[in-house]
Amino acid sequence: MDKGKIEITYIIHSDDSSLNNSDKELVVKSRETTSEAYAPYSSFRVSAVARMENGALFHGTNQENASFPAGICAERVLLAVVSSVCPNYLIETIAISYASNLVKDDYPLAPCGICRQSLIEYEARYTKRVRLLLTGRKGLIYEINSVSDILPFGFRPDNLIG
């Protein structure tokens, strides 16, 4: 019997003061744009902001729906925007933040499983890693080198090719 081991290394910033200017801009914008989310049922507002390789910024926010399966997370809204508006430019970094009046929101959270899988598909589609900056309304920021780090056994397009 063999054993495998998975480890990831990520950087923990105590706040945004140690980030470079472009990453700080992403984090600030992700925190600000949580207010644009439509989350009347959960009051859990999420924003994802992408910096493209050409320097442009795009964002998406979660959009809830009374028919709960019909809602969509901020990360997937962002990927739809980017793929529709500028499909010829790649995402370099995504900052994801959230705000809530019901739960503590001063620490980083990672994307849900469906969003991780969608982000893996984006990395595979363009064969380029996407950095993540995860944060709450304030405080700690996790800097993750690649989406693949947070979904190590992600299902990839090449799994379908015989």
Cα–Cα–Cα angle for 157, 158, 160, rounded to 5 degrees:
75
The dihedral of CA 58, 145, 24, 37: what is its sign? positive
Structure tokens at 91: 């995402």
Which of the following is catalytic: 32, 64, 75, 123? 75
Where do we find the tokens 């015989």?
Answer: 162
CB atoms under 10 Å from CB of 41, counted, come to 11
92 contacts: CB under 8 Å, gap ≥ 6: 50, 51, 52, 53, 130, 131
The yes-or-no answer on residue 123 being catalytic is no
CB atoms under 10 Å from CB of 68, counted, come to 9
- Known catalytic residues are 75
